[in-house]
Each structure stands twice: as C-alpha cells, then as structure tokens.
Amino acid sequence: MLDTLLTLSRPKKRILMMCADVVLVMLALTVAHSLRANRFYLPFGDEIWLWLVAPFIALPVFLLFGLYQTVIRYIGFSSLWRVFQAISLYALLWGVVTFMSGWNLTPRSVVVINWLVCLLLVAGARMVARWILTYHAPGFLGAERDIRRNVVIYGAGAAGMQLAIATSFSNDMRPVGFVDDDPLLVNQQVNGLRVYHPDQLERLIREYGVREVLLAIPSASQGRRHEILSALEHFPVQVQTLPDISELETCEVDLEDVRDIDIGDLLDRDPVAPVEGLLHANIAGKVVMVTGAGGSIGSELCRQISHLGVRKLVLFDNSEFNLYRLERELDESGRPYVSVLGSVMDQGAVEHVCRANGVQTIYHAAAYKHVPLVENNAAMGAANNIFGTRACALAAMNTGVGTFVLISTDKAVRPTNVMGASKRLAELVLQDLSRRKDCATRFTMVRFGNVLDSSGSVVPLFREQIRKGGPVTVTHPEIIRYFMTIREATQLVLQAGAMGQGGDVFVLDMGEPVKILGLARKMIHLSGFSVRDANNPGGDIEIRFTGLRAGEKLYEELLVTDSAVATRHELIMRENEAGSTLGGLAACLEKLERAIRVSDNAQVRVLLFDMVESYNPAATEMAS
C-alpha cells in the first residue's frame, strides 16, 4: 500500500491529504464533545450541521496556510508552526459560526477542546506519516536503510541540529550521534540523538562502524578548527565540514553546504581583520584594472574588488575561457566591468585600454609562475614576467595611472630558478622606474608565498591523487613551504598596495612554514584513508618521493635582508632594499631582450645570473 501511495501524483496526494483532514476535523469534534459530556457523543438533529460545516471552514484555511504544499517526509518545525496557525484560525472561525448560528447547541468549552484535539490529530497525523515514510516505506529509505553510511556530527549547536535533520532525510547518510565538548550538552539528547564527549569518539566509531564525521562548527575560530582536525586525524574517518559562518549564504544549513575539508582549516592561524581604510583606498569610486584577471590570484582580486565600491573593473587576460568563467561570477555582483583579451607584453594595447577606460589603479597579477615549466621555457617566462611587467608599467606611466601594484613572490628572494629570478628582476625594473623624475605613478610590489588551491599548488594535485587511490607524490621528505588562503592573501595585497610611497616592496607574514610531507599525510588521513609505508604495509595510499624538480629548493624566504619594518597592518612588513646596483639596467635589459627574441634559453639564464646578484641556480643542486 505504501508503494502505491508513494507512486501517486502530487495532485492525487493532495486530494488524499484533504480527505484525511476532513475525517480528522470531524473526528476532533466528536472527541471534543465526548470529553465535554464525559461519554461517547454522536451528533443528532440540528447538531449534525456543526459537523458538516467544519470541513468547509477548515479546508480553505488549510489551503491558505499552504498545508498541502508541504512534502510530508520533509516536514519540519516551520511546517508545524503553519499547522498550528491554520488550526487556531479554523477553531476560532468554527466557534464564531457556532455561536452566531443561534442554535446554542455547543458548550463554550468545546471550542477550546476542539482546538486542542484537532491540533493533536492533524499535526500528529503528519508526524506519524513522516515517520512511516522516512523509516518504513519500501523503496524509499526502508530498503536502503542498511546501506546508508553512519555519520557522526561534531558540534551539537544550531548548525549541528539543522545538519542532523537534513541527514535524517538523506538516502546516503544516517546520523548516529553528536560529539561536543560542552559539559551542558554531553549525554543529553538533541533532536533524538545522544551527545557524546570527544573522548568517546573512538568507541562511537567502533560500535557504529562510522566512516565519516561532519564538522558543524561554522562559528569556531581557525585555531579551534585546526585543533579539532588534528585530533580527528588519528581516526580512520573521512572529515567533511560546513564552511565558515561568513561564507554561509543564509542561516539555514543543509547538505549542500557540506564540503570536503578546506586545506586552509589545517593552518594553525586565524586571519587578521582587514584595515577597512586601506582595503578601499585604491578601489572605492575608482576604475581598477587587473591583469591576469582570469588566473587564481587575479580572479580572487576581481571578486573582492567588485564588492569594495569600485566604479568600473577592467578584466585583462590572454585566456578567453578564463575571462568567460570570471564574467559569469561577476555578473551576479551587479558591478560594471569590461573584459579585454590581450597580452601584457603589448604596451600599445595596454595603453589603449587604460586611456579608453580612465584606469586609475592596476593590479598586475599576470605571470608565468609554474617553476619547472618556466625553467624549461626560460625565454618565454622571462619575456612575460619581466618585459610584460615593464610594458604594463610604462603604459601606466604614459596614461597617468595613479597606482601600480605588482603581485610578486617569495621565490624572488635569493632565487634558485628562472621564475624567481624573473620576478626579482621585474621588481628591480619597477624600482628603477619609480626613481625617474617624470614618474607620477606609485609603484608597489607585494611579495608572498604559496596560495592554497591556486593553480599549480600541491593541494589540488594531492586531492586528485587521493581521489584516484594514490600514490601521492612529494618531491622531497624535508621540503617546506609558506601557505596562506587565497582570500587572506588577496586582502593583504589590496591593503599593502595602499601603503606604498613608490618603489616599496611589501612582504606578508605567512605564519609558520608547512612541511609538505605532513600536509600530504593530513590530507590522506582526513579523507578517511591510511598511509601505506614500511610501518603500515597494509595502508591505503602510498606517498612516493619524486625528487626536487628543476629550479626547486627545499625552502622559500620572504626577505632579502633582515631590515623589514612594521606597517599599519600587523601582517604586512616593508622591506628596506637598496634596489638595483647595476649602473646600466636599460643596457642589460636590451641584451636580455635580444636573447629572448631568438629563444636562447641558455643565454637568458646567463644574463639573469649577471643581473640578479642573489640568483643562485646551484643552490637547487646542493639541496638535492
């Protein structure tokens, strides 16, 4: 019978619900009169009209409150509140009709009793139907109940409770309990599920065969999330999480909000709130251009700039697909933007765009930054990173752009590869331009380390390798890197760019360096797998060491000297560098340009070695 009911069309199900409500409304009247008379009571004579008129009052009221638009198996507190309102109005209207009829056949107390009984029957019938459909209906969850995976929800607050309700309707998950360290909640029942202390998690996993933990603590600090994830790392479970409270679009939580662990959760640091004045200084009410707008850094800059009161945003990139993808995101912001396909090495094209749009601020994010690729294509990498930067900078000077911010890298510090050397030379070019007497453009450079989940980052690579069952490849067991979330890094770039006076190099405090091997192990464990190694030959996923790649070194630095000074922002420092010591930078650049023109990669490396005094490609060989 349940199979038949579940296959009915929605209109037929609504008619069935209406018929059930007609019976329940009339039954409620009978029970109310029986309770008042203290005996079983049936209407007779004119009283029969009070029973017959009740459904004609109730059904329009129930329709008005949308009681027949609700899917029974998903009924929740908001739906029950509507049932309460509808029955209250119906009971009131029925009482008014009864006393206005002049029959005086109904005691006043019956009106109140009828309201209570009707509420119990109509709301109770819906909850019973929900219980039957959820737990016993063949072909819905009953037949699949044994194959639903048991999950534990970490956090028994409001978000955890909403998540428990959502998972209870899932075909894939079944919540078996909460975990929370709040002593007021431990051993209590929340939404029918027991709350366990974190110390009981191991027993909970063993007894219920739990393979997944859902982290429902969106308001927790980054440090607290890191602490919890470190504790969960030791259990053979996959961990998924709700995003930070600021990222949730509404206060309502459902399964669509659950995602894989953001690797930023593994960083033991809380982002520092931005200085609003710095954040808006170069953007609010201005025309801003972002080069390399479709890349990982450039696109995040565009997202944030679009919400900071920009007058017009100019997207400049040489990738049609990247621009198209970014346009689809920015359409939702409602801010005016212009998309331009072009190369940063074409100074004339950049000047035309700046003049046509009245650009006032440029964030130069266009760069070739994949170390091994640039190492093997030295001429093209140097052309884009050095001469592309110079072309954009000269275009900015010629068109009166007020501020030009170069997105640099920690690999520019004592570089061991062409990518780092080219970015360092780009910094020197901008410092040289800023010393010109005719320079009205304020050039600023911001240097930072690896950005989580950016293109070329190890994080998406590890995630893909884990999804395929391994192996996870790490270049060297001792390699370390600085990491920062892409959102925090771009916010700091926007703020640092507002503090430059001309030729400044700013460095971002990236926190403590992260050991890549440790990062790989955490990602494997939090995905519910174990590491296969000599100590655990039966593990799930192997970590394989591939050796340092061309131009790669074991660790990165952010400062050339130790003379960095503090700024208005606690995570931004100004590097006191002397700039280029070369007497004829222009002549050296001409030689480099000639080598690039004939794609002489070897000569490009030689010239970079001569021009960037801290460039030491031999350091890579020594590290390996």
Written as one letter, the residue type at 546 is T
Phi, psi for residue 131 in degrees, rounded to 5: -65, -45
Helix segments in 101-149, DSSP class H: 108-135
pLDDT at 114 over 80: yes
Region 209-216: mean pLDDT is 84
∠ CA 30-32-37, rounded to 5°:
95
CB 357 within 8 A of CB 337: no
Average pLDDT for residues 379-403, to the nearest whole number?
94
Residue 51 confidence (pLDDT):
79
Cα separation, 311 vs 302, whole angstroms: 13
Written as one letter, the residue type at 430 is L
Concatenated DSSP letters for 7-32?
A: TS-HHHHHHHHHHHHHHHHHHHHHHH
* pLDDT value at residue 354: 95
SS3 389: helix
255 is written with which tokens? 């399964």
User: 465, exposed or middle or buried, with CB in 10 Å at 0-12, 13-18, 19+?
Assistant: buried
Residue 342 has pLDDT above 90, yes or no: yes
pLDDT > 70 fraction of the chain, expressed in percent and rounded? 80
- Residue 238 — left, alpha, or beta (φ > 0 → left; ψ -120 to 50 → alpha)? beta
Reported as a single tens digit per residue, the pLDDT across 8-34 is: 666 777 888 888 888 898 898 888 888
CA distances from 45 to 39, 41, 42, 48 (A): 18, 13, 10, 6
590 class by beta-carbon count within 10 Å (0-12 exposed, 13-18 middle, 19+ buried): exposed
pLDDT the model gives residue 249:
45
Nearest to 272 by CA among 562, 495, 455: 495
Block residue for tokens 């899917």: 71
Beta pairing class for 173-179 and 193-196: parallel
Q: 388: pLDDT confidence band, cut at 50, 70 and 90?
A: very high
Q: What is the pLDDT of residues 136-192, one digit of tens each?
A: 544 444 444 446 788 888 888 877 787 777 776 666 778 888 888 888 888 887 777
Q: Give the pLDDT band of residue 266 (cuts 50, 70, 90).
A: low
Q: What is this structure's pTM?
A: 0.66
What the block records as the tokens of 394 is 């000269």
First to last CA, the chain: 71
d(CA 342, CA 350): 8
Indicate the fold that domain 148-261 takes in CATH: Rossmann fold (3.40.50)
- Cα separations (Å) of 372 from 67, 254, 384, 469, 547? 63, 42, 16, 25, 13
Amino acid at 217: I
Calpha distance 97→39 (Å, rounded): 25
The encoded tokens of residue 25 equal 């409304």
Banded pLDDT at 270 (limits 50, 70, 90): low
**Location of structure tokens 């440790």:** 518
Q: Residue holding tokens 């304020």?
A: 442
Cβ contact 558:483 at 8 Å: no
Written as one letter, the residue type at 82 is R
For the stretch 499-530, what's the b/e string if a residue is b when 16 or more beta carbons lie within 10 angstroms of its beta carbon? Answer: bbeebbbbbbbbeeebebbebbbbbbbbbbbe
Distance CA 178, CA 214 (A): 10
Q: Is 485 exposed, middle or buried (0-12, 13-18, 19+ CB in 10 A)?
A: buried
Per-domain residue ranges of the chain = 2-135, 148-261, 276-451+484-510+557-619
| CA–CA dist 181, 157 (Å, integer) | 11
Give the strands of the sheet with 472-474, arranged side by side: 472-474, 541-545, 531-532
Identical fold for domains 148-261 and 276-451+484-510+557-619, yes or no, is yes
Q: Write the DSSP symbol of residue 444.
A: E
Right CATH for 276-451+484-510+557-619 from 3.40.640.10, 3.40.50.720, 3.40.50.2300, 3.40.80.10: 3.40.50.720
Q: At what angle do helices 347-357 and 388-398 cross, to 10 degrees?
A: 40
pLDDT band at 345 (very low <50, low <70, confident <90, very high): very high
CB-based contacts of 510, cutoff 8 Å, min separation 6: 410, 448, 449, 482, 483, 484, 558
CA 286 to the chain's CA centroid: 28
Model confidence pLDDT, tens digit, residues 53-78: 888 888 888 888 887 776 665 565 66
Cα-trace Rg, the chain:
33
**Predicted confidence (pLDDT) per residue in 576-594, tens digit:** 665 544 457 888 888 999 9
Peptide bond into 471 cis (omega under 30): yes
Element (H, E) at 238: strand 238-241
Lowest mean pLDDT of 425-429, 530-534, 553-557, 602-606, name the range. Answer: 553-557
Comparing 210-214, 400-404, 451-455, 484-488, the range with the smallest average pLDDT is 451-455
pLDDT of amino acid 352: 96
